[in-house]
Structure 1
C-alpha cells in the first residue's frame, strides 16, 4: 500500500518534470539558435572586416596605378608619333619615368613598375621597366621584356600585357614567383587606350607577402585561421597547404564549399566540413581582386559558448529538479510527520517509554493532541535535565564535578593522539583546610571552599572549572585563556589578596596553584600534563608554608 507521502511526491514531481521538460527544451533550443546565429555573425563579421582591410590595400594600389595610367594618357600628344617616331617614344618614356618611379615608391609593397607600349608600335622592347633587386632595395632600370620572343598566347611570360588588353579593362594577375629576388608577387595592370586605339599597359608588381601577412595574422577563437583562394577555388595562401591545392581535393566535404567559392557565395551563414577527422566551420567573402578570403575554426571552439550555455541550462534544470524534489519531500513530510510522530509516540507510551520529542506541531486538531503529548515530554525533559545536573555539577559549589572532569580528560586524551591541541591545566588547592575544619567546623570550611571557588570562577570565567576533590579544583585553559594564562594567574593573585583584605582573619583564604602547558614533545597523555601541574602546585604550597613559617618567626622576634 502506497503512503500518502508517496502519492504527494509522485503528483508534484510529475508536474515539475513535465514543466521542466517543456521549459528546458524550449530554452535549450532557443539558446542553441541564438548562439549559432551569434557565431555565424562573429565569423562573417570578422571575415568582412579583414576583407575590407585587404580591399583597402588593393584600392590604394589600384589608385596609384590608375593615377599613373591617367597621367600617361594625358601626356601622350600623338598616337601616330608612337607608331613612327622613336625619338618621341624615348622622350615620352623619360617624361613618364620619374612619375612612375615616384608612384612605385609611394605604393605599399611595390616591387616593380612598368609602362609597355603596343608591340605593334616601334621596337619590341619599347617602354620602361624599373624593379627592385631586393625587397628593401631601390628601384633600378631594366630592359623591358622583348615581345618578339613570345607568342601572344604565352600567358606565363606576356600574359600580363595581353590579358588586360584582351579584357579591355584593368586586371589583377594571379601570384607568381619572381626568380630574380625570390619573392612571390601579384600584379595590377591597366590597359591604355587613346581614341579606341590600344597604346599599351601600365602596371605594378606588388609583394604578395603584404597581403599574406594580413591574412596570416587573422586569428579567430583559439586555433582558427584565415586563407586565400583564387576564383577557381585553388589555394593562394594557407598555413598548411601549398599554393595551387584545389579546395575540392582536400576532402569530400569541401566540394560543396568549393562550389560556393566558384559561385562567389558566402554571407550570413557558415559552411560545415571535416578536415583530418576534425569538424570545422568556414566563412568567406570575395576580394576586389577576385580572390576569396576564408576564415575557419574547429566546430568545437565555435560551439564552446553554446555548449557552455546548454550545460548551464542542464545544470539549472538539474538544480531546479533537485530543489523541487527536496521541497516536495519537505512539504509532504511536514504534512505527514505530525501523524507519524503521534503514532510512534502512542506506541512508546503504550510500551511504557516516555522518551519522546514532538518536533512538528500543527494548528489543528492533530496539533491539539500533539500539544498534550509535548507537555508530557517537557515535564520529562525537565526531570532529565535535573538528573543530569546532579550527575555533572558539584553539589556544594555548583561548578563541574569529577564526572564532568573525566569526560573532558577523555576528550583531551583523544586530541593528543590525533592532533596538536593547545591547552593548559591549572591545579588549585586550599591550604590548611583540615585545620580550619578541625578548629571552626566543616560548615565554616565549606564556606571557605565556596569563597575560593567564586574567586577562581570570577578570574577564569571563560574556562571550565572542576572540583575534583574536597579542596582541590582544576581549570582547563584553551583558546584565548590559554594565550593569556600568565595574565590570568596574576589576576587571580590580585583577586585573592583583595578578598583577604576585607575578610576576617579566620576567613582569609590561602590557595596554592600550579600550572602546566601541554608539550607535544614530552607529554604523551593528559595525565602527564596534570602530573606536572600537580607537582607545580605542591611546590607552590611548600613555598607558601615556608613563607608563613618565616613570618611567624619574625613576629615572635
Structure 2
C-alpha cells in the first residue's frame, strides 16, 4: 500500500511535469508562429522595397515618354499637312527635337529617343532618332530605321512601331539585345493619334542593366537573391538561368510557383519549392510593366533563428522538467506553494500572456526552478520584442520604418472613423541623392541619409519619424507639435541652414518638404493627407530645382559679363 507521502509526491510530480510540458509546448508553438510571420514579413518587405525602387525608375521613364508624347501632339497643328507637305514634316520634327533630346538626357538609363511618323503617308525614314554614342556617351542624331526595308510583321526590326500601334496603347516591350552596341535594352513606346488617324509613335530605349543592377544587388539572409520574370513566368534575368527559360519546365516543384507568377498575385506569403534538392521559399511582386520581381532564399536560412529558438526552448523544457523531479522528491512540502504559482504562470503563458512575474524567491532548489522559469519567459519576451524591433525599425537610421508607418496610418484611420483626430503629415525627401550615390558611392549616400535623419529628428523630436523609402521620410504631428507645426517647419529650415553652414561642399543637405493638415471634409482617408503632403513636397522640390537653375544661370551670366571664358 502506497503512503500518503508517495501519493502526494506522485501527484506533485505529475502536476509539475505536466506544467513544464505545457509551458514548453506553448512557448515553442508561439515562437514558431511569430518567427514564421516575421520571416515572411522580412522577405515580403524586402521584395516590396525593391519593387518600389524599380517601379519608381519605370515610372520616371513613362513620365518622360508621356510628356514628350503630349508635347508632340500639342505641336502638331495640321494633320493634313503632315500627310502631304514634307516641309511641314521637317519643321515639325525640328520643333520637337530639343524637347525629345532633353527628355532623354534627363531620364536615368536612356540610350535612345525617337519620334517616328506613320510610313503610310510620310517618308520611310521620317521622324527623329537620337542615340548615345559609344565614344563620349552623348546623344547624337542618327538616321531612323527605313520602314520600306521591312514588313510590318517583322517584329525583330519594326515591332517597336507596329506592336503599340496595333494595341492602341502605351506598351513596354520585352528586353532585347541591341547587337549594334552590344547592350540589352527595354523600350517604352506611346502611339500618337490625331483626328482618328495614327500619326506615329514616341519611344525611348532604356539600358536594361540599370534594372539588372538593382536586382543583382539584392541580398536576403546569407545566400538569398532576386530574379526577374515576364508575365508568363519566363526568366528575364537570373544569376544562374538563361534569359527566356520557362520556370514551369525546370522542376516539378516549380510548376505551382510558375502558376502563381502567371496569376500575378501581390505580396502575401512565402511560396515553398525545391531547387536542385534544396528547399527554398520565394515571394514576388508585379512591376508596373507586367514583369515579376521575385526574391528567394533557402528555407534553412529563413528558419535558422526559429530552429535555434525551438531547440533552446526544448532543452530548457527538459532541464526544467528534470529539475522539478529532483526538487519534488526532496522538498515535497516546500514545493506546494511554488508549484501552484508555477502552474498559474503556465496557464497564463499557454493563453499567450507573457507578462509573468514569479514572487517566490528562495536560495534553495525551489527558488532555482522559479528563477529558471522566469528567465525562460524573459528570454522569450525579449526575443519577441527583438523580432518586432527588426520588423518596425529602419536598419540604417534607427527610426521607424514603412511597416511601422503603415500601422500608424491604420490607427489614424480608426480614429477618423470614431472621432475627429487632429494631426498633420510632413513629407521630406532628400534631393540629389542619386547624384551623391553615383558621384561618391552608396556608403557616402548612406551617410547623407543618416545626417538628414539626424536633422529631422532633432527638430521633430516629440513626433514619430518614419523612413518610408530610400530618401523619403514622413513625420506625423499630433498634440503640441500639431499646434506649432509652422514654427517647427521654420526651425527645420534653420537647422538645415545651420548644418550646411559647417558642412563640406559634398556633405551639404538639400531636403524638400511638404505638409498637409487633416481636414475631415476633404480627406476621405489618411492616405489623402499623405498625398497632399507629398504633392506639396514635390512642388517644393521643383521650386528648389528652379532656384538652383536660376542661380547657376545667374552665375554664368556674371562670369560672361566679367570677361570669363565661356565654359562651353
1:293 aligns with 2:276: no
SS of the residue corresponding to residue 252 of structure 1 reads: coil
Q: 1:40 Cα deviation (Å)? A: 1.1
Q: 1:148 Cα deviation (Å)? A: 1.5
Q: 1:158 Cα deviation (Å)? A: 1.0
Higher RCO (CA < 8 A, seq sep 6+): 2
1:369-391 Cα offsets, whole Å, 9 max, x none, are: xxxxxxxxxxxxxxxxxxxxxxx
| Structure 2 stretches lacking a partner, 5+ long | 336-568
In structure 2, the CA distance between the partners of 1:38 and 1:136, relative to structure 1 (3 Å rule), is farther
Distance 1:59 1:332 in 2: 73
1:119 aligns with 2:137: no
Distance 1:49 1:135 in 2: 36
| Aligned residue in 2 for 1:24 | 24
Q: 1:21 Cα deviation (Å)? A: 2.6
1:41-94 Cα offsets, whole Å, 9 max, x none, are: 111111111111110111111111111111111111111111111111111111
SS of the residue corresponding to residue 221 of structure 2 reads: coil
- Residue correspondence of structure 1 range 130-209 to structure 2 within 5 A: 130-134=130-134, 137-209=137-209
Q: 1:25 Cα deviation (Å)? A: 2.1
Answer yes or no: is the 8 Å Cα contact 2:17–2:324 preserved in 1. no
SS of the residue corresponding to residue 140 of structure 2 reads: strand
Q: 1:198 Cα deviation (Å)? A: 0.9
Distance 2:242 2:150 in 1: 29
Answer yes or no: is the 8 Å Cα contact 1:133–1:180 preserved in 2. no
Q: 1:122 Cα deviation (Å)? A: 1.6
SS of the residue corresponding to residue 26 of structure 2 reads: helix
Distance 2:104 2:244 in 1: 29
In structure 2, the CA distance between the partners of 1:15 and 1:136, relative to structure 1 (3 Å rule), is farther
1:201-226 Cα offsets, whole Å, 9 max, x none, are: 00010000110111111111111110
Distance 1:129 1:171 in 2: 19
* Larger Rg over CA atoms: 1
| Aligned residue in 2 for 1:247 | 247
| Aligned residue in 2 for 1:521 | none
| Aligned residue in 1 for 2:303 | 303
TM-score normalised by L of structure 1? 0.58
| Structure 1 stretches lacking a partner, 5+ long | 336-557
| Aligned residue in 1 for 2:48 | 48
Q: 1:34 Cα deviation (Å)? A: 1.7
- Residue correspondence of structure 1 range 258-269 to structure 2 within 5 A: 258-269=258-269
Q: 1:249 Cα deviation (Å)? A: 1.9
Answer yes or no: is the 8 Å Cα contact 2:48–2:267 preserved in 1. no
TM-score normalised by L of structure 2? 0.57
Q: CA RMSD in A?
A: 2.0
Distance 1:278 1:5 in 2: 56
In structure 2, the CA distance between the partners of 1:195 and 1:317, relative to structure 1 (3 Å rule), is same
Distance 2:140 2:180 in 1: 13
1:9-58 Cα offsets, whole Å, 9 max, x none, are: 44332222222233322222222122111111111111111111110111
**91-100 vs 9-18, which moves further:** 9-18
| Aligned residue in 1 for 2:434 | none
SS of the residue corresponding to residue 242 of structure 1 reads: coil
- Residue correspondence of structure 1 range 32-431 to structure 2 within 5 A: 32-134=32-134, 137-332=137-332
Answer yes or no: is the 8 Å Cα contact 2:114–2:202 preserved in 1. yes
Answer yes or no: is the 8 Å Cα contact 2:229–2:235 preserved in 1. yes
Q: 1:309 Cα deviation (Å)? A: 2.1
